[in-house]
Chains A and B, each alone.
Chain A
């Protein structure tokens, strides 16, 4: 029987089959409406005009008031609990259907309550796992009541399908294993669920489970008065006994493991482990009695599954599985037909339990029993081990290798990956049975990917326990190969190492020889949780410090100085508690850097750098620390050094959207648009919001002089993100460079009305068109308005026309030469004493433009050469820019422009070759078997 399909094909199957008293049918649609009656309503009574209908409804004077919540249109109520209500809703712009939860308004009187709801919701929203129902947005309605939107799970929940599932234990275990992995991820982030039950496990359209309401149970569940008076939250039948007994502070991850066991038990047996007449009775039973054996209820149930349930349902938290990872592992072993790790409770454990009840007697017997007990257990274990070890070993020692990412080219390298595969296979087999396979025919985007979806997909096609991937690049005359071993199930990094070697095959082979032993040890290890960098970090291990780190990291991603200041304080607290937490230092560096971004502060910048270097001293392989340092270096305009740190971030943590986009942007600043394109292409592939990188890609093609590709990218940006201005501004600038002033103006005219408050770019491009077109009066008016509104002085805009330089030049053009010279001199002095220094191509280019306007031709030319050396690569703007008018007839200027154009042509050809290489990889990867 096919189960998941029922969730929508036939929806839920009721076990009771009461026929409708009216029509005798026994099928219902929503709200308990009998389908038979719905088909027979008002037979023969069809006379109704639209007018009558509207009048009748208008007469019921109950207007809808709250059918808009923030950005959402509420479609219908789909559930209601003690404190909250759930709607099906539609997001206005994307038209996406979501589920929306909010607190009922009469619970929203306390500010503290609201703040706590918001805090905990935001924590839950930070969870990212394929089997955790994603929370899209946490918002606040007009009346100040917080709500959150999440994925609408169209397949119902486990409770609804449980009767149909019962016949299929494999399907049950498959679902619960995934649920357990999701819970493991939440635990890793320091979030407990506290109310796992079948109703909280939703199913998507494909019948895949999605765990919902992490840590939010108390907000959303209809707890009875009884349970609330006990100040416990959770559902009798599924909550751990200690959860019912003690204050919630003492509840640990093992309470969630108990609940998973209870759900598994329920699905297999058709009822939860404990039943009672009322909630209190159930809770009392759970805390005084042992759970019944699964096979006492279902005689043919699998013996191993009985053991798994029993291990989860132990009353003592310490006697349960040590972690969700262990439980998931056992469930997956069962699915793969391997023997599970959990044993029926061993004799020593029983003894200790008994001894707790009868301490005096036990003490005297302990010496006698101990020896015998240990021997007995050893014998049992070894016999069992011998029987299964051969069958399991190859699967245990399995590695699937993905292509390496060539960091110099931004393209995948399957050849080196194959060489590594062969070498590792040889070396590992020296140590025992092992399976090392190459996933050669893969997407080019899989090379060194840190993207969970990619890894999941790779895992699906490899059936290996681990995935090996990494990168290579040339450092001096050496080849640096960085490898990462990841858990195929979770994508968690287990091992990372870089080796440097001569680039010849024999040397590479030699360099790889030391890898087999550590990889073998990792594959052999029972518990991977201590292997990750996070597992080593004292900040993540200390519960209080971890809370500060998690809070600090969340605040870091929010807008506004207040949030960043709060983030800094949280991370400082974490460091006070655990001074050696590399993560805390790395995040503090990132936050200081982010704060700096809003307001220049050289002390803060120095602090950010100090923290980042501290983090790296503590943990040289921490990707976040490399990212933070890269950010600091970028702000100091030390772009080449920033690139090195970004590459280190990839070498230690793999490639993903964020780091690839930063690399792309850094390469733009370095005047290497061809390189930038490779990385932006990868970022675009993983973009969480489509259209995020297309305008940047367009900029690169503009710089490279490929207008057709630039136009395509800008159009895509404008289409995918119509609310943003980057796309159409890029198009307008392109027209400007092409000398098509009217077309450039038309684009601005068509779009400028959508200008947003703080976004000055639309006004900048309008001013720039007027300036280049030499409409002096209008340009001056526009630049004056901009200078008043925007303290950034237009730095970083297209063609680097700073407001004061334009105004100075415009004054000259309006025959106010003296005023113009003063403005220009002041502007140049400001540039030269800029707090961030003069480093970049853009910095030199602005100085060149000012000097040219001031009539200092030789100085201007020197600056132009400096600019090109530092990466300036726009040969078209200077031809149009009035600030370079004084050089117009100078042969040296002409020569300069010719040389720059030739250089750009060369870069363009390189970029096109690169993109052809990548396209070839993509074509090869697309032909998957």
Chain B
């Protein structure tokens, strides 16, 4: 199934159609817009949490935030979001946030959102959350001090990282190595000397050299998946590193 995929992950077919760059270029070349819309709706489904978190942080009630999130995506998928000439369109993230802010300023949009009361559902919230649960934890004092924009960015970063982890987990499971992933995932970010290969070796009953190599490969693969995930939101995939640096900076204490 995934036989040709890993040669060059960045060009793997899996991400091809939902890439932001592909969506943009297909529009420029006047190709079929429905395909671009379908691709866009995939991206929106991936990145709904930052939007929802942003709205919650602004103080909307849960049902209102849910309705507004749904309405915002409906607006994006039906409106002229894609056509809008915008210097920020190079990054899906920036364009989404700017559009969200415009959307909220539009009092009319808010009114209709209330009235419609969420009858347009892209997908049910429960399913949405169950399919890709998030385990983000944030220090309590951040609750008051972080701006909605920063929360949007942190949520974005978490989505990228959690999706990459999940892809890695799925790849391991498809190779029959779910247990290995479970045992090693905690060590993904540990520095080399911190990892207790002996303990892991006892737990799993395999040799230390194999474990060491597997962890090394898991990290590499994770990095590939992460870059792929980020690249999918960029017009210019060369700028993946810049985007990653931006997301790291959003996390660092004292920002915003």
Contact = CB atoms under 8 A, between A and B. Distances in A.
A17 B157 contact: no
A57 interface: yes
Contacts of B63: 206
Contacts of A32: 186
A57 B161 contact: no
Interface string A459-484: 00000000000000000000000000
Given A29-B134, A60-B210, A88-B133, A15 B140 contact: yes
Interface in A1-38: 1-2, 4-6, 8-17, 19, 22-38
B37 interface: no
A45 B192 CA distance: 15
B155 A10 contact: yes
Closest 6 CB pairs of A and B: A50-B6, A17-B139, A30-B135, A154-B129, A5-B56, A9-B53
A386 interface: no
B135 A11 contact: yes
B161 A39 contact: yes
B214 A41 contact: no
B199 interface: no
B107 interface: no
A54 interface: yes
A205 B137 CA distance: 17
A13 B140 contact: yes
A42 interface: yes
A41 B189 contact: yes
Contacts of B134: 8, 11, 29
A205 B175 contact: no
Interface stretch (B13-21, B27-35, B216-224): B216-224
A155 B60 CA distance: 18
Contact of B175 (A5, A31, A45, A54): A54
Contact of B204 (A25, A52, A60, A152): A60
Chain B CB count within 10 A is highest, among A6, A10, A15, A61, for A10
Interface stretch (B71-79, B87-95, B245-253): B245-253
B182 A27 contact: no
Contacts of B141: 17
B5 interface: yes
B158 A27 contact: yes
Given A52-B217, A155-B129, A29 B140 contact: no
A297 to B, nearest CB: 19
A36 B59 contact: no
B142 interface: yes
Interface in B201-256: 204-206, 210-211, 213-214, 216-224, 226-227, 244, 247-248, 251-253
Most B Cβ at <10 Å: residue of A41, A164, A207: A41
Nearest to A56: B217
Given A6-B56, A88-B133, A13 B65 contact: no
A10 B136 contact: yes
B80 interface: no
B53 A27 contact: no
Contacts of A5: 52-53, 55-56, 62, 65
A356 to B, nearest CB: 45
Given A53-B220, A206-B62, 8 more contacts: A6-B56, A8-B52, A14-B138, A22-B189, A33-B189, A42-B223, A46-B224, A154-B133
Given A13-B138, A17-B141, A42 B220 contact: yes
Contacts of A33: 161, 165, 185-186, 188-189
B139 A4 contact: no
Contact of A27 (B137, B140, B164, B226): B137
A164 B169 contact: no
B175 A58 contact: yes
A299 to B, nearest CB: 21
A77 interface: yes
A154 B52 CA distance: 15
B7 to A, nearest CB: 6
B248 A97 contact: no
Contact of A57 (B61, B130, B217, B247): B217
B62 A36 contact: no
Contacts of B85: none
A51 interface: yes
Interface in B144-184: 151, 154-155, 157-158, 160-162, 164-165, 169, 171-173, 175-180, 182-183
Given A11-B138, A62-B204, A205-B126, A35 B180 contact: no
Given A1-B59, A56-B213, A14 B49 contact: no
22 contacts: A2-B65, A5-B52, A5-B65, A9-B55, A10-B136, A11-B138, A22-B189, A25-B252, A29-B135, A33-B165, A36-B248, A38-B161, A38-B189, A42-B219, A48-B224, A50-B7, A56-B218, A59-B213, A64-B176, A97-B131, A164-B143, A205-B130
B137 A39 contact: no
A49 interface: yes
A67 interface: yes
A29 B151 CA distance: 14
A59 B219 CA distance: 16
Given A25-B253, A53-B6, A35 B157 contact: yes
Contact of A2 (B56, B179, B180, B211): B56
Contacts of B217: 48, 52-53, 56-57
Contacts of A40: 244, 248
B172 A4 contact: no
B154 A27 contact: yes
Interface residues of A, number: 72
For A34, A46, A56, the residue with the greatest tally of chain B CB atoms inside 10 Å of its CB is A56
Given A154-B133, A205-B126, A49 B252 contact: no
Contact of B178 (A23, A56, A64, A152): A64
Interface string B30-45: 0000000000000000
A28 B136 contact: yes
A204 interface: yes
A33 to B, nearest CB: 6
Contact of B155 (A9, A36, A58, A163): A9
Interface string A58-92: 11111110010000001011000000000010000
A8 B252 contact: no
B113 to A, nearest CB: 16
Nearest to A38: B161
A154 B126 contact: yes
Contact of B223 (A19, A35, A45, A52): A45
A49 B133 CA distance: 29
Counting chain B CB atoms within 10 Å of each CB, which of A9, A14, A38, A205 scores highest? A9
Nearest to B205: A62
Contacts of B55: 5, 9
A45 B218 CA distance: 12
Given A1-B59, A36-B252, A14 B139 contact: yes
Contact of B180 (A26, A57, A206): A57
Given A5-B65, A60-B214, A152-B130, A163 B140 contact: yes
Contacts of B128: 205
Nearest to A20: B189
Contacts of B244: 39-40
A28 B186 CA distance: 12
Nearest to A77: B182
A12 B210 CA distance: 36
Contacts of B221: 48, 53
A194 B120 CA distance: 42
A73 B173 CA distance: 11
A36 B139 contact: no
Contacts of B86: none
B131 to A, nearest CB: 6
Contacts of B172: 57
A4 B62 contact: yes
B106 interface: no
B81 interface: no
A29 B162 contact: yes
Given A17-B140, A39-B161, A27 B251 contact: yes
